[in-house]
Amino acid sequence: MDMTGFLALVLTTLSAAGVPGEDMQPGLAWVFFNGSNFTRPGDAGVDPHIDLDTGTAISDFSRVWLGRVTAPASGEVTFEAEADNGCRVWIGDTLIIDGWTEDGPRRGTFSFDEAGKPFPIRVEFFQNGGTAHMRLFWQWDGHERELVPAAAFSHTLDDRERAGAMVVRSAEDVPVSNTHARLYAPGRQVPETEPVYLVRGPQLFIDDYLVADSKDAQRVVNVPRRTPDIPNPIVTGKEDGCFQPYMTILRDPATGRFRIWYGGRASDSMADSHINYLESSDGIHWERPARTLQDPAPIQFGVSIVDRGAEYAVPAHRYAFAWWRDGGFKVATSPDGLAWTPIASTPLIYHNHDITGLYHDSLFGRYVATVSVYRTGPAWSGNRRITMHSFSTDLLHWTPAHHVVLPDDSVDDGETQFYAMDGYLRRGDLLIGMVKVLRDDLKADDPPDPPDAYGVGYTSLAWSRNGTSWTRDTAHFFDPDPQKGAWDHAHAWIDEQLPVGDEVYLYYGGYARGHKVNRFEERQIGLVTIKRDRYAGREAGPEGGLIRTPLLVVEGDGITLNADARNGEIRVQVCARDGQPLPGFSFDECAPITHNALDAPVSWPGPFRELSGTPLRLEFRLRNATLYAFGIR
């Protein structure tokens, strides 16, 4: 059954219990999932109370009950669950029982302010194998323990819609055919329309979108280089408590100070983390000790933060923070990035891998959730981690997730997986992301140290011009340090891009020996830099090379080049629709660019502003030079 059919089943089945009055209906709405983490929905209905006993073995399933519980008394009521394997119980937004492990708590209390008043209740349960049971009891002063009776439970249309929305938002159930994932391949990628209308700003040669023809000019990826000028790692596991190097670095627009939030160690837990926080005057040297912020709710992994600015309409919600817990993507807000309040008690998007990200795309006026899932697919063997996106305008309501990064055994070696994509940075009409590639079938050393160490991670580029469809580069952008014993010898995952002057600071998570080795000390944060917009370029040798664009419409007063021509030169000519050079704009009339610059003005005898709005082609002639981008002034 597809998602549309299943959602109809949910709403139809839940409506069957109708009774008159205020849309309040008896019992709790429930949804059954064939996976133990709210994946693969299979059935729906209404239970009079919570008294589940399968009697027979059912492997790997989960179940959610939604509705209202009527307060039996004013004051404190104790709830107790009998659950095999795990359960969680919320009254309103309060998690009163967090028993998601077999030895976790099964008792909790809630203080009702008025007897006879209905309060929202949500109960989650999972079973990993064997027979299963889940029962919910209560007791209060003067009243002995009993199974919460059917008369105490009810549900509404809102509860039914929440159940249906939860089903739709199970990201790993979205068919692989719902994909916006592409692979970069050399050769022209025909624009959707021609002529191509270019906005003011940088136009990057990261792909072939602006290359109609090319001769003797090769695409080269500009790999960031480590330098001793930066004392890496800049955030450490031992001193700074870095446990999960997923991070956000923002620069305060008022003070210019750098702020970093990252995953901090939570005691000795491998499945919990906190938000650690540091500040810096230069983004390199951080003022210690690190501060551990109060959790908005339990956090498994993820520290992805958006600053909506000092002019945001609701100052108390200026900052938004996303993380993974309880089977999905959760969000909290804050006035200052330090004290956080959840906007919902339950996940807003369900997905079965524990990595998430949040980005605000100002060009399209929407939030982008990056969610990671495990799944199989027709283009790859086995179960792999892949990357999906969902959109929202209010952080509460999200579109069904769609795939943006997928493996393909025809071009990807071994067991290529995509842990996540993050570090988004918009340049003109291009949105650039950093893809965390994982090869758990590889080892950093031979023989590995320790013997059971495994996993190598590197970063690749991805980009989008419409904010929805993404092209992934199969080339490596940033690799682990090949030097054995280096702090980032096994993994080098870029998680954040931050423009600083003429450079982009690329903050990355480094692992020393493997994916799961010494996670409390060997997962740390480093920094490399590149010059602005120099992710990839077109390089020509002494024999020279030529690049010709498709037909363009350029609105501006002139163009600049982002290029390194210190050992040669670059000239530009402007051609009419038929390919003939326009008078005053030929190669011979162009003043050559012979230096290394990010914004080198191109000059001809003719006034470029007179060509504004006219369809034209640009041709670039390179000799011993690399062209990364051109800009429109």
Confidence of residue 613 (pLDDT cuts 50, 70, 90): confident
Spatial separation of the C-alpha atoms in residues 229 and 222, rounded to whole Å: 19
**Average pLDDT for residues 545-567, to the nearest whole number?**
95
| Helix segments in 340-465, DSSP class H | none
Contact (Cβ atoms closer than 8 angstroms) between residue 135 and residue 145 = no
Cis before 41 (ω within 30): no
Kindly give, in sequence order, each residue whose CB lies less than 8 Å from that of residue 612, ignoring residues fewer than 6 positions away.
Answer: 554, 555, 556, 557
Contact (Cβ atoms closer than 8 angstroms) between residue 624 and residue 568 = yes
Residue where the block lists tokens 């001809």: 604
pLDDT of 20 reads 38
pLDDT of 496 reads 98
DSSP 611: G
Half-sphere exposure of 221 (CA within 13 A, CB side): 16
pLDDT of 14 reads 58
Question: Residue 120: which of 395, 344, 394, 348 has the closest Cα?
Answer: 344
CB atoms within 10 A of CB 111: 11
Per-residue pLDDT of 11-27, as tens digits, reads: 566 555 544 345 789 99
Residue where the block lists tokens 């030929």: 586
Contact (Cβ atoms closer than 8 angstroms) between residue 473 and residue 461 = yes
pLDDT of 192 reads 67
How far is C-alpha 314 from the chain's CA centre?
24
How far is C-alpha 176 from the chain's CA centre?
18
pLDDT of 550 reads 94
Per-residue pLDDT of 213-262, as tens digits, reads: 999 999 999 999 999 999 999 999 999 999 988 999 999 999 999 999 99
Q: Which position has the higher pLDDT, 261 or 35?
A: 261
Spatial separation of the C-alpha atoms in residues 627 and 561, rounded to whole Å: 7
Contact (Cβ atoms closer than 8 angstroms) between residue 622 and residue 542 = no
Q: What is the chain's alpha carbon radius of gyration, rounded to the nearest angstrom?
A: 28
| Kind and range of the H or E run holding 158 | helix 157-168
Kindly give, in sequence order, each residue whose CB lies less than 8 Å from that of residue 451, ignoring residues fewer than 6 positions away.
Answer: none
Kindly give, in sequence order, each residue whose CB lies less than 8 Å from that of residue 294, ignoring residues fewer than 6 positions away.
Answer: 339, 340
Spatial separation of the C-alpha atoms in residues 622 and 566, rounded to whole Å: 12
Confidence of residue 41 (pLDDT cuts 50, 70, 90): confident
Kindly give, in sequence order, each residue whose CB lies less than 8 Å from that of residue 99, ignoring residues fewer than 6 positions away.
Answer: 81, 83, 86, 87, 88, 105, 106
> What's at 201, amino acid-wise?
G
pLDDT of 512 reads 97
CB atoms within 10 A of CB 633: 14
pLDDT of 19 reads 41
Kindly give, in sequence order, each residue whose CB lies less than 8 Å from that of residue 134, ignoring residues fewer than 6 positions away.
Answer: 50, 52, 63, 81, 82, 83, 84, 87, 123, 125
DSSP 199: P
Contact (Cβ atoms closer than 8 angstroms) between residue 396 and residue 343 = yes
pLDDT of 505 reads 98
Confidence of residue 378 (pLDDT cuts 50, 70, 90): very high
Residue where the block lists tokens 């919910």: 136
Per-residue pLDDT of 460-470, as tens digits, reads: 999 999 999 99
Helix axes 157-168, 3-15, angle to 10 degrees: 160
pLDDT of 85 reads 87
Spatial separation of the C-alpha atoms in residues 619 and 582, rounded to whole Å: 12
Residue where the block lists tokens 């006879």: 116
The structure tokens listed for 592 are: 């050559």
Contact (Cβ atoms closer than 8 angstroms) between residue 573 and residue 591 = no
Cα dihedral sign for 378, 380, 386, 387?
A: negative
Residue 118 has φ and ψ, to the nearest 5°, of: -80, 135
**pTM, rounded to two decimals:** 0.82
Spatial separation of the C-alpha atoms in residues 99 and 88, rounded to whole Å: 6
> What's at 416, amino acid-wise?
T
Spatial separation of the C-alpha atoms in residues 421 and 98, rounded to whole Å: 30
Residues paired with residue 358 on neighbouring β-strands, in sequence order: 369
pLDDT of 166 reads 63
CB atoms within 10 A of CB 407: 23
Query: Dihedral angle at the C-alpha atoms of 7, 12, 18, 20, nearest 10 degrees?
Result: 90
The structure tokens listed for 54 are: 């399968």
β pairing state of 456-464 and 430-439: antiparallel
DSSP 609: G
Query: Dihedral angle at the C-alpha atoms of 42, 44, 49, 53, nearest 10 degrees?
Result: -20
Per-residue pLDDT of 270-308, as tens digits, reads: 889 999 999 999 999 999 999 999 999 999 999 999 999
The structure tokens listed for 315 are: 């100052």
All domains in the chain, ordered by first residue? 3-168 (3.90.182.10), 183-221+536-632 (2.60.120), 242-531 (2.115.10.20)
Residue 459 has pLDDT above 50, yes or no: yes
Contact (Cβ atoms closer than 8 angstroms) between residue 355 and residue 339 = no
Residues paired with residue 625 on neighbouring β-strands, in sequence order: 540
Share the mean pLDDT of the chain: 92
Residues paired with residue 405 on neighbouring β-strands, in sequence order: 387
β pairing state of 552-554 and 196-198: parallel
Per-residue pLDDT of 123-171, as tens digits, reads: 999 988 788 899 999 999 999 999 999 999 999 988 877 776 666 556 7
Query: Dihedral angle at the C-alpha atoms of 366, 370, 375, 380, nearest 10 degrees?
Result: 90
Residues paired with residue 438 on neighbouring β-strands, in sequence order: 417, 457
Q: Where are the beta strands (DSSP E) in 491-592?
A: 491-500, 503-511, 523-531, 536-540, 545-548, 552-554, 559-564, 569-575
Spatial separation of the C-alpha atoms in residues 242 and 238, rounded to whole Å: 7
Kindly give, in sequence order, each residue whose CB lies less than 8 Å from that of residue 411, ignoring residues fewer than 6 positions away.
Answer: 183, 474
Residue 160 has φ and ψ, to the nearest 5°, of: -65, -40
